């Protein structure tokens, strides 16, 4: 895929309430795991995929320290930064998506850590799909309190999202085409999963790409799993 047509999007607007309740004073994107902040792991994954133009949303508390980190450690990347306290995952997603100005945007969340090279692999997979196609990362590694199950046809097209069980769940990475922010028709969805489910129901072409094992650092107890994952799959932090 021509990387000049792809920008990145990073959602880091959550409040990290579980970490604060556990006594963490550091804002969630700056919590260290495997030798670098969660924010650093997200940006490392974008860099490995060749993406240097990234839109980011932080909340108003985490914004200042995170912006300082971006300026100090990633001076070669062009960032478009929004600092806003959003009411839902959909609002954060829409804010990032609306900031994009290229043909496609690859979006992920700051608490998701993937196997090395998987973002680049997703882009390669999408290269053979129609320009208007949506690609959602999926995995058979299910370690989420509220997993979003995905049903796929043999050609990889997503036929349904949601449901009580299934072999695959979404993994928190989304490749969206230009204009995707308008696909909801201006509706205010209560959560990102509701927006994605709506798109599938409307027949929008959407495909699943296997991201392999990935770790979501949602809770303090996830830090140990993330440390082990990084030590196993990354040469150094």
Question: Do β-strands 169-177 and 104-109 pair in parallel, antiparallel, or remain unpaired?
Answer: antiparallel
Which pTM does this prediction carry?
A: 0.94
What value does the mean pLDDT take over residues 201-209? 95
Q: How many CB atoms lie within 10 A of CB 1?
A: 19
| 3-state DSSP assignment of residue 76 | coil
Residues contacting 203, CB < 8 A, separation 6+: none
CATH code for the domain defined by 3-233: 3.90.550.10
Q: What confidence tier does 233 reach under pLDDT thresholds 50, 70, 90?
A: very high
Q: Give the tens place of pLDDT for each residue, 83-125.
A: 999 999 999 999 999 998 899 999 999 999 999 999 999 999 9
Quick: pLDDT tens for 177-187: 988 989 888 88
Mean pLDDT for 206-233 is 95
pLDDT of residue 102: 93
């Amino acid at each position: 895929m021509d990387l000049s047509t792809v920008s990145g999007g990073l959602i880091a607007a959550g409040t990290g309430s579980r970490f604060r309740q556990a006594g963490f004073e550091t804002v969630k994107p700056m919590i260290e795991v495997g030798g670098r902040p969660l924010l650093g792991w997200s940006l490392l994954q974008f860099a490995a995929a060749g993406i240097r133009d990234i839109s980011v949303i932080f909340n108003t508390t985490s914004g200042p320290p995170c912006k300082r980190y971006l300026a100090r450690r990633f001076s070669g990347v062009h960032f478009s930064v929004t600092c806003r306290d959003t009411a839902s995952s959909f609002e954060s997603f829409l804010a990032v998506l609306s900031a994009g100005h290229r043909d496609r945007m690859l979006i992920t969340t700051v608490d998701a850590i993937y196997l090395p090279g998987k973002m680049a692999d997703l882009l390669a997979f999408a290269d053979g799909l129609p320009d208007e196609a949506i690609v959602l990362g999926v995995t058979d590694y299910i370690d989420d309190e509220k997993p979003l199950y995905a049903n796929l046809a043999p050609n990889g097209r997503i036929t349904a999202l949601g449901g009580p069980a299934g072999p695959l769940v979404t993994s928190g990475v989304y490749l969206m085409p230009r204009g995707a922010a308008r696909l909801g028709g201006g509706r205010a969805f209560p959560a990102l999963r509701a927006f994605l489910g709506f798109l599938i129901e409307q027949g929008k072409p959407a495909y699943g790409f296997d991201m392999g094992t990935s770790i979501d650092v949602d809770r303090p107890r996830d830090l140990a799993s993330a440390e082990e994952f990084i030590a196993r799959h990354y040469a150094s932090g």
